[in-house]
């Protein structure tokens, strides 16, 4: 099993045959990149997600942005079809710090993000939220101990949605998640902010200032995509952001929980 450290709190693995090791390294690091020299079939990507637990299905997503018939693999892309209809989510603009699906019911513990085409047009940067928690002062921890954040998608395209994929989809429900989150597998405390979807809190908190206080070079990792990279990301131990780009980019995203643990 070939393992390389490729950045702060991130590993590169070149092998699919060591399931337990991949899981262990994933929980240790929060971001693991499996490198490939050819395009990976969707069923194999789904099997990688199933190493951890249940794969989420979202039948409410328009079928034209799904890459499979079972609604498990979603395109994150700015491509449109011949009629100008989006063939993926989230367009080509910059996307600020967030945890995937923080605004949806359920425990979207982890994600696979796979570079099908043009991934190198944008960089994805991660912050390790376990290390961010360790930067909190005793006073901050006391203040945040019973703080609960409210998350939902903002309703204007310019604020977060970025393209017409979301038009007509209503995200009026607010999902509540604690600001200090105990990881369900490692049992370690993590900071859970997800500013892009953060809508309010039961305590007086400036969410962007909290991020500024806890994000440093030592807990950041920027992924420069290579062809066919399969990136496993822990949505509790990390959050991420994406740069804007020009050109055609097609990523596949699969969401899963940690039911096997």
pLDDT tens for residues 87-119? 888 888 899 999 999 988 888 999 999 999 999
d(Cα 248, Cα 254) in Å, to the nearest integer?
20
Q: What pLDDT does residue 261 have?
A: 76
Residue 223 has pLDDT above 80, yes or no: yes
Q: What pLDDT does residue 159 have?
A: 47
Residue found under tokens 């809190």: 201
Element at 28 (helix H, strand E)? helix 19-29
Residue 206 has pLDDT above 90, yes or no: yes
Task: For residue 124, list its beta bridge partners.
Answer: 223, 242
Instruction: Give me the mean pLDDT over the 233-250 stretch.
Output: 96
Residue 165 has pLDDT above 70, yes or no: no
Instruction: Give me the mean pLDDT over the 60-80 stretch.
Output: 89
Check residues 261 and 77 and name the one with the higher pLDDT. 77
Q: What pLDDT does residue 1 have?
A: 57
Angle at 252 between CA 53 and CA 247, to 5 degrees: 160
Query: Sorting pLDDT into bands at 50, 70 and 90, what band is 172?
Result: low
Residue 49 has pLDDT above 90, yes or no: yes
Give the per-residue SS3 of 112-166: EEEEEECHHHCCEEEEEHHHHHHCCCHHHHHHHCCCEEEECCCCCHHHHHCCHHH
Decide: helix, strand or coil at residue 253.
Answer: strand
Residue 129 has pLDDT above 50, yes or no: yes
Cα radius of gyration rounded to whole Å, the chain: 18
Q: Who contacts 43 (Cβ-Cβ below 8 Å, separation ≥6)?
A: none
Q: What pLDDT does residue 156 have?
A: 46
CB atoms within 10 A of CB 249: 25
């Amino acid at each position: 099993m070939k393992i390389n450290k490729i950045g702060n709190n991130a590993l590169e693995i070149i092998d699919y045959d060591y399931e337990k090791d991949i899981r262990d390294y994933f929980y240790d690091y929060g971001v693991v990149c499996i490198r490939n020299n050819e395009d990976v079939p969707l069923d194999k990507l789904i099997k990688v997600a199933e190493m951890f637990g249940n794969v989420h299905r979202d039948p409410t997503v328009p079928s034209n942005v799904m890459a499979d018939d079972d609604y498990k693999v979603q395109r994150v892309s700015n491509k449109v079809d011949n009629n100008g209809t989006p063939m993926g989510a989230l367009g080509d603009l910059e996307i600020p710090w967030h945890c995937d699906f923080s605004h949806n019911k359920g425990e979207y513990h982890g994600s696979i993000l796979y570079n099908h085409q043009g991934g190198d047009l944008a960089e994805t940067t991660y912050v390790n939220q376990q290390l961010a928690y360790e930067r909190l002062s005793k006073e901050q921890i006391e203040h945040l101990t019973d703080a609960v954040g409210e998350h939902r998608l903002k309703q204007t395209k310019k604020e977060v949605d970025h393209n017409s994929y979301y038009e007509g989809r209503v995200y009026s429900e607010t999902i509540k998640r604690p600001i200090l989150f105990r990881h369900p597998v490692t049992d370690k405390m993590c900071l859970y902010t997800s500013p892009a979807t953060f809508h309010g809190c039961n305590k007086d908190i400036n969410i962007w200032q909290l991020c500024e206080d806890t994000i440093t070079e030592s807990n950041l990792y920027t992924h420069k995509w290579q062809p066919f990279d399969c990136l496993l990301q822990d949505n509790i131990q990390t959050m991420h952001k994406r740069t804007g780009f020009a050109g055609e980019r097609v990523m596949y995203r699969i969401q899963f929980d940690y039911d096997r643990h």
